[in-house]
Structures are given as structure tokens and as C-alpha cells.
């Protein structure tokens, strides 16, 4: 990478690139709709995220080029004495920069952001069909302490 990596809140102008990053993946290619024009559902989700102070859609940039994305959600819980948690979702880096430390820097940025928001815990999930992603997160200090369950409503 020619410039220092920068992190910022995504803007609506970034949306097409973000959806492209999410779709450029074995699993994402089956569930995302990266087409022109983008389905309205992405714009509606972006608008909802942008209006919610406990949701942040963050992009990693090399100069003006968006090369990574994640969403971080801050949630208050009654458990853990009413503590806050940060949940990281939708982590992707551009294929052209994978293996160059962008993902690690993006996750570490999110961890620092969670500390700024006084969260006691950062959590994330990864699909069991992504064993390399699990190894990646474990190398960053995450521990697979729980079994996650999901119920599809579609």
C-alpha cells in the first residue's frame, strides 16, 4: 500500500464499493446482490445505520480507495452489571490487499473504538465454513467461548 491506512465512517458514496466487497466472497456471492443499480434495501439499511448512534459502518481507505469495511454495533446489556458490548459484523477487505495486514488493522481499530465507547467486551461471529477466518480472529486474541445459534426467518 502506497499511503497510510485511514479509517472513517462510510458515506452513501461508499455504498456500491461496500456491497462489492461483501459480495466478493464465496458466501457473500450467494447472498448479496451487487448490481447496478443497487437494490433499494442497501440504501435503506445504510440510512438506518447512519441515523443510529450505536451503529457505525466503517471503511478502511488507502488514499481515496476503500479497501476494507466493517460494521460495529454498540449494545447495552443488563448482564455484566449493565455493561456495553461491541459487536463486529460484515468484515471484508479487498482481494487485492488480503494478507497485507489490512484486516488486522481494521479489527484493531474497532477494538480501540469499543474501548472509547467503554465497552467491556468485543464480540463477533464467523461462519463455520470459514476456518481461516476463525484462525485469523484467534490470532488477534478472540476466543471461541460460546456456540452461536441462528434462526433464519426467510
- pLDDT averaged over the chain? 94
pLDDT given for residue 1 in this prediction = 45
List the grid coordinates of 138. Answer: 484467534
Q: What is the pLDDT of residues 35-61, one digit of tens each?
A: 999 999 999 999 999 999 999 999 999
Residue 119 above 90 pLDDT?
A: yes
Confirm if 74 and 119 have CB atoms less than 8 A apart. Answer: yes
For domain 5-139, say whether CATH 3.40.220.10 is its number: no
pLDDT given for residue 3 in this prediction = 57
pLDDT given for residue 91 in this prediction = 96
Helices (H), the chain: 15-23, 28-31, 40-51, 79-82, 102-116, 131-139
Confirm if 132 and 91 have CB atoms less than 8 A apart. Answer: no
pLDDT given for residue 111 in this prediction = 98
Residue 7: C-alpha distances to residues 43, 56, 68, 146 (Å): 21, 12, 9, 30
pLDDT given for residue 26 in this prediction = 83
List the grid coordinates of 115. Answer: 474501548
> Domain-by-domain residue ranges, the chain?
5-139
Distance CA 42, CA 33 (A): 9
Question: How many of the other CB atoms lie within 10 Å of CB of 121?
Answer: 14
pLDDT given for residue 89 in this prediction = 97
Provide the percentage of residues in the chain whose pLDDT is more than 70. 98
Between 27 and 61, the more confident residue is: 61
Percent of the chain that is helix, strand, coil (3-state, to 5): 40, 25, 35
Residue 2 above 60 pLDDT?
A: no
Amino acid at each position: 500500500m502506497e499511503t497510510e491506512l485511514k479509517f472513517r465512517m462510510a458515506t452513501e458514496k461508499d455504498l456500491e464499493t461496500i456491497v462489492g466487497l461483501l459480495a466478493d466472497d464465496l458466501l457473500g456471492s450467494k447472498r448479496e446482490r451487487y448490481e447496478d443499480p443497487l437494490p433499494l434495501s442497501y440504501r435503506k439499511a445504510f440510512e438506518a445505520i447512519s441515523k443510529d448512534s450505536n451503529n457505525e459502518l466503517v471503511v478502511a481507505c488507502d488514499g481515496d480507495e476503500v479497501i476494507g469495511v466493517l460494521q460495529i454495533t454498540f449494545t447495552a446489556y443488563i448482564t455484566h452489571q449493565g455493561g456495553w458490548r461491541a459487536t463486529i459484523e460484515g468484515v471484508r477487505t479487498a482481494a487485492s490487499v488480503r494478507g497485507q495486514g489490512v484486516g488486522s488493522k481494521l479489527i484493531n481499530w474497532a477494538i480501540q473504538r469499543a474501548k472509547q465507547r467503554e465497552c467491556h467486551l468485543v464480540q463477533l461471529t464467523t461462519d463455520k465454513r470459514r476456518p481461516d477466518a476463525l484462525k485469523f480472529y484467534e490470532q488477534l486474541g478472540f476466543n471461541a467461548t460460546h456456540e452461536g445459534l441462528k434462526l433464519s426467518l426467510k
